[in-house]
Structure 1
Amino acid sequence: MIQRPRGTRDFGPVEMAKRRKVESAMREACAVFGFGEVVTPTFEHAELFTLRSGQNVVDEMYVFRDKGDREMALRPEITASVVRFYVNEMSNFPKPLKLYYVGNCFRYENPQSGRYREFFQLGAELIGTKNPESDAEVIALAVNCIRSAGLENFVVRVGHIGILKAMVNKEIGDEKLAGEVLHMIDKEDWDAMGEMFDARALPRQLFDKIAAIADMKGELELLNNLDQSEATGYLQELFGVLKLYGIEDCLIDMGIVRGLDYYTGMVFEIDAPRLGAEKQIMGGGSYTLSELFGGEPVFSTGFAIGIDRVVLALEAEREIAVPAQLDAYVVPAKDDMRKYAFGIVARLRSQGLRADVDLMRRSMSKNLKYASSVNARYAVIVGKEEMAKRMVTLRDMKSGEQRQVMADDIASEIRKS
């Protein structure tokens, strides 16, 4: 028997109903903020991602050569694709450009709870401006998406990658080595970082300084412990704008580095504490990518939400309520009533109800059992006497109560309840 590939999943109707409910809520949040949906290819030229996605992402990419011997890759993330789309076709559009997307991504990593080789994201990009107001707009949208999905217990952390990035690049000098250090900060792998500093004879004083800044986590007042700079002033102004959005419980976290190398300024993450080690459900920040893809330099801010982890976080809080799969399941009591039953199901569907009919020629008892198993709200039972009166028996599948109604009134009776 052929099994699905490791790190992938199949989603049945009930699971998909939950996921679509979450997606729909977040899509609506994006629309409310004036963001329009875009779709980009599932695979791109590999170079699009190797230019600036970070070594850890590059190492996990699914890469292949097509029949024209071109190196292609399944997308490991979608921001680069959206910026490529912008450079190719939208650079002359009025600014700022507000775009959002929903799609699947692929990374060859070790599968575990909340981490898969195929995973799903909803993300947004605000292209063409860099100021505290535009960054606050993006953070507010991310928070609104999470709230709209129904999650109550989450934490927003905001930092500025420019402070650590500038220090590491200046003190170390070697761009590749500096990138390794930033990656270790992102993973909070301080033991490995200490070993690397010793092996490369890098000053321990620098290690201690980096660790002290990365460990700054808490209220906005923590910024007073840093040398005042453009970055700290920017964050203070950003938090002031966030308060105008009604977002007052963000935390400062100067250890946020992000695994993608293209972030340049403000960075932020949202955690769902109930998920434990895989608690991060969203990450984003400000970046410049367009010039790498042949466009003019343009500032942008964006984020990506892990839909899989949001669903897990919601289920950790409570059951995700989804509507019944069927409004009505039509049951002919005898074979000679099947034609009448098919006429009824066709009418119900034409009136916008989710309706199905027995296709297996089951007995009445088995049909009612099936109606219950597919979570139908009502069974519409067509008997000989009812058919003669152009009536049916409407059975509530939860309470077991049933009543006779006119066949023409089935839809209105179901909608009343």
Structure 2
Amino acid sequence: MFQKPKGTRDFLPEEMKKRKTIEKKLRKVFDSYNFSEINTPTFESFELLSKKTGDEIRTQLFVFRDHGDREMGLRPELTSSVARFYINEFKNTPKPVKLYYFTNCFRYENPQAGRYREFWQMGSELIGSKKPIADAEVVNMAIEGLKEINMDFEIHIGHLGVLKGVFEKYNLSDDEGNEIRRLIDKEDMDGLKSALSRIESEKNIEISKKVFEVLDLKGGKEVIPILKEKLADFESSVAALENLDSILEFVPHDYVINFGIARGLDYYTGMVFEVYGKKEGARQVCGGGRYDNLIELFEGEPSPAVGFAYGFDRIMLNIDDFEVENESIFVVPVKSSELLLKECLKIAKTLRDSGKSVEVDLMGRKLNKALNYANTKNIKKVLIVGENDIRDGKVSLKNMETGEQSLIELKDMLNI
């Protein structure tokens, strides 16, 4: 017997109903902000996919050569593809360019809770504005999407410029700064202390205290003036705090300021945020921030940009008690006859034309077995079509939850 590939999933009808319902609700929020949906190829050149990270990402991707001996890879996320798409199609479009996507992505990694080799992302990119209100719009949209689906979550917001200003003051190299950021991102405190100690020894500086002052301070907007006072001599850090303060003026939601958010990708340049659910093993459901150098990295004109992506599968894990009502209607004849079957099809067409989901019994079952089938499919409403009732312009409506059955006029069917 054939089995599905490792790290992939089959979705049963009930799960797909849940996923499509959540997807629809999230799309509604993206559309409400006038973001336009796009899609990109499932595979791109490996050169594009490795542009941000270098060749070391090869072991994490599905890489192959096409018949023209060109090296390709299945997309591990959408930011690279959207950057290419923007440069190809939107660079001369009036700014800002506001795009969103919902699609599958692929990573070759060990499957575990909340991690798959094929997974789905839904995200946005706002390109062309460096104003604080643009950052706020993206943050607000991410928050409002999760509120729309009634998910319990907590959002942490930081700014990479705060620590970057500390690194600059102590003359750390880009490699040293990136090493510290990666250790912070991995929450490897022992590794972080070791790296800072080594750097202090090599440069004859004392930076650890300042780094941990920044990392340890968490809370609401009140932490910004506190940290500005602690970093008064760090001009770049103060400027980053003022930028974050300006952004948060436009965010009317609860949040936690946390400068320990490093976002593992080196191309982030300013405000960053992560959203956490309650499900162990699938806590981080969303991440994003500002990346003003991204378009330039992909050989486009310098363009400020900010965006985020939901981990759609992790969202689903965090709302696993979510149920979708089956609103379908089952139409069944009292007995199997050509006349009644034709009437069933007429009724079904009328209901479908009005936008309802309708199933007609296709198996020639006896009525009691047809009703049992409706129960197994969790169908709540059954229309029973009989010869005498049809002649009178009526049909029986059975409520499968209560067991109640009543005659209704055919002309009233659309109201059930």
- After TM superposition, give the deviation of residue 293 of structure 1 in Å: 1.8
Distance 1:174 1:127, change over 3 A: closer
Question: Does the 8 A contact of 1:381 with 1:393 survive in 2?
Answer: yes
Q: 1:285 maps to which residue?
A: 289
Alignment partner, residue 271 of structure 1: 276
Shift of 1:193: 4.3
Distance 1:30 1:351, change over 3 A: closer
1:354 to 353, 357, 373: 357
Which residue in the other structure is 1:220 paired with?
A: 221
Distance 2:55 2:28 in 1: 35
Distance 1:114 1:187, change over 3 A: same
CA separation of 1:197/1:250 partners in 2, compared to 1, >3 Å: closer, same or farther?
A: closer
State which drifts further: 74-83 or 213-222. Answer: 213-222
Identify the residue that residue 163 of structure 2 maps to in structure 1: 164
Give the corresponding residue for 1:383.
Answer: 386
State the shift of 1:312 in Å.
Answer: 2.0
1:195-254 deviations in whole A, cap 9, x for unaligned? 56678975795455544433332233334234143444443454455344422x222111
C-alpha separation in 1, matches of 2:346 and 2:150: 40
- The equivalent of 1:11 in structure 2 is 11
Q: 1:298 & 1:17 partners in 2: Cα distance?
A: 39
Aligned AA (1:88): N
Alpha-carbon distance between aligned partners in 2 of 1:215 and 1:99, rounded to the nearest angstrom: 35
Unpaired runs of 5+ residues, structure 2, are none
Which shifted more, 88-97 or 126-135? 126-135
How many Å apart are 1:24 and its aligned residue?
1.5
Shift of 1:343: 2.6
AA partner of residue 190 (structure 2): D
Aligned residue identity for 1:295: G
CA contact (8 A) 1:49 1:58 kept: no
Shift of 1:143: 1.1
TM-score, normalisation: structure 1? 0.88
Report what 1:322 is aligned to. 324
Q: Quote the Cα distance in structure 2 between the aligned partners of 1:141 and 1:389.
A: 54
Partner Cα distance (2:288, 2:332) in 1: 52
Quote the offset at 1:171 in angstroms. Answer: 4.9
- State the distance in 1 between where 2:2 and 2:257 align: 48
Once the two structures are TM-superposed, the CA of residue 124 in structure 1 deviates from its matched residue by: 0.9
Report SS of the residue matched to 1:276: coil
Distance 2:387 2:52 in 1: 71
After TM superposition, the structure 1 = structure 2 runs for residues 69-108 of structure 1, keeping only pairs within 5 Å, are 69-108=69-108
1:346 is matched by which residue type in structure 2? K
Pick the aligned partner of 2:366 from 353, 363, 367. 363
Shift of residue 174, structure 1, vs aligned partner: 6.4
Name the CA distance, whole Å, in 2 between partners of 1:206 and 1:57: 31
The 5 A counterparts of 1:394-405 are 394-405=397-408
Count of paired positions: 405
Is the 2:331–2:385 Cα contact (8 Å) retained in structure 1? yes
| Percent pairwise identity | 42
Q: Please tell me whether residue 260 in structure 1 is matched to residue 265 in structure 2.
A: yes
- For the aligned residue pairs, the C-alpha RMSD in angstroms reads 2.6
**TM-score, scaled relative to structure 2:** 0.89
* Distance in structure 1 (CA, Å) of the matches to 2:57 and 2:164: 19
* Structure-1 separation of matches of 2:249 and 2:44: 40
* 1:218 partner letter: G
Q: Return 5+ residue gaps in structure 1 as ranges.
A: none
